[in-house]
Amino acid sequence: MSDLTVSRHFVQAALSGAEHLGMDTDAILREAGISPDLLRIEMARVNSDQFSSLLQIAWNRMNDEFLGMGPRPARAGTFATMCALVIDCPTLETVYRRAYQFSRLFDPMVTLELETDGEKARLIARIEGKIYDPDYFLRESILVIWHRLGSWLVGQPIELEKAEFNYPQPPHSDEYRHIFHCPLAFDSDCTALTFDKRFLSAPVIRDKPEMLQFLKTSPADLLSRPDESNTYTGRIRALIGRDLSKPLPDFEWIASELHTSPQTLRRRLKQENTSFQEIKDLLRRDMAIYYLGRQELSINDIAEKVGFTEPSTFHRAFKKWTGVTPGAYREGERG
């Protein structure tokens, strides 16, 4: 099971290119196990397994890794070929420079370019030609994929210091806090990620067999299931676990398990654009959405499983999270 969920916005945004081309997006949704009726709920979410399946199905049907949003199609296998070229690179810096050279072979170009200035490094989006990206999904995806691919290759998270975007703050920008875990800036002169230059010297630790396994589900998994094991958010989620029916550990115990002080942990979470309370709330939300897909569980059972002693309290919390009651949400999932 997956205990992460993806906003309805990204589901619809991922299919905007297919819809623009006149494709049957409802059929793609159903094949991925997502009810089109669920997306009528404004604050609906799907689990990351469903979102990963959706991306892979759409890529295969369209034979375009840009999902109909780029200035040209990126034929199936483009990402895998780039990965085959960078797996032998000695460091993260050579990965990003070789990936950029590979992307420049295509015209018009859609890529990220590495630039360094003093102790800072930046990955800057370079997109030529006309794109169809009304929800910014293509631009967001390029940033996320290159960042998470680099982190996976060197076996450690590349801690971002800033994410900036050359477009106005979109309505779904709150989701960015949980994607980039760093300060955000909109209406910038470019779309880019900034991080400490020291990460560029990190050695690539993956090998070709690991890459072959990785490519079975990527880049879909990079977008839907980020490796948060080395973020404080992800480590706290792991410490809390999935059994929310018992009292949750307190903040001081969490801090001691992470070998840090409560004050330092609060500061770290603030840097990741979150808080301990929000982590607990979102974990309960995601687990509730997962359990609602199991028809054998009553809503009262689900309330208990996610840590609510009173069903009425669960109803209020769930409506705050999604805009609808658990019963209405389950009906949307059933279609």
Q: Is the pLDDT of residue 314 over 70?
A: yes
Q: Is the pLDDT of residue 3 over 80?
A: no
- CB neighbour class for 207 (10 Å; exposed up to 12, middle 13-18, buried from 19): exposed
User: What mean pLDDT do residues 195-202 have?
Assistant: 97
User: What mean pLDDT do residues 49-70 have?
Assistant: 95
pLDDT grade for 148, boundaries at 50, 70 and 90: very high
Nearest 5 degrees, angle CA 33-CA 323-CA 297? 50
User: What mean pLDDT do residues 57-70 have?
Assistant: 96
d(CA 153, CA 210): 10
What the block records as the tokens of 153 is 């290759």
User: What mean pLDDT do residues 271-290 have?
Assistant: 91
Render pLDDT for 78-124 as a digit per residue (tens, 0 to 9). Answer: 999 999 999 999 999 999 999 999 999 999 999 999 999 999 999 99
Picking from 92-101, 169-178, 193-202, which range would have the lowest pLDDT averaged per residue?
A: 169-178
Picking from 1-10, 48-57, 286-295, 302-311, which range would have the lowest pLDDT averaged per residue?
A: 1-10
Please choose, from the candidates 233, 225, 245, 217, the residue with its C-alpha nearest in 3D space to the C-alpha of residue 304: 245
> What is the reported pLDDT for 230?
65
Beta strands 160-164; 184-185: pairing state: parallel
> What is the reported pLDDT for 1?
45
Whole-model pTM?
Answer: 0.87
Please name the residue ranges forming H helices in 204-246. 208-214, 220-224, 232-240
Tell me if 79 sits within 8 A of 65, measured CB to CB: yes
Sequence-distant (6+) residues with CB within 8 A of 149 are 83, 218, 219, 222
Q: Measured between alpha carbons, how far is residue 26 from residues 21, 34, 37, 44, 160 in Å?
A: 14, 9, 9, 16, 36
Cα 305 to its chain centre, rounded Å, is 26
The string of DSSP codes covering 33-67 is: T--GGGGGSTT-EEEHHHHHHHHHHHHHHHT-TTT
Render pLDDT for 208-221 as a digit per residue (tens, 0 to 9). Answer: 999 999 998 888 88
Averaged pLDDT of the chain: 93
Q: Is the pLDDT of residue 235 over 60?
A: yes
Single-letter residue type at 109: M
User: What mean pLDDT do residues 36-40 have?
Assistant: 93
> What is the reported pLDDT for 225?
75
What the block records as the tokens of 38 is 């669920």
d(CA 11, CA 323): 18
Strand, coil or helix: 106 = coil
What the block records as the tokens of 98 is 């070789």
pLDDT grade for 266, boundaries at 50, 70 and 90: very high
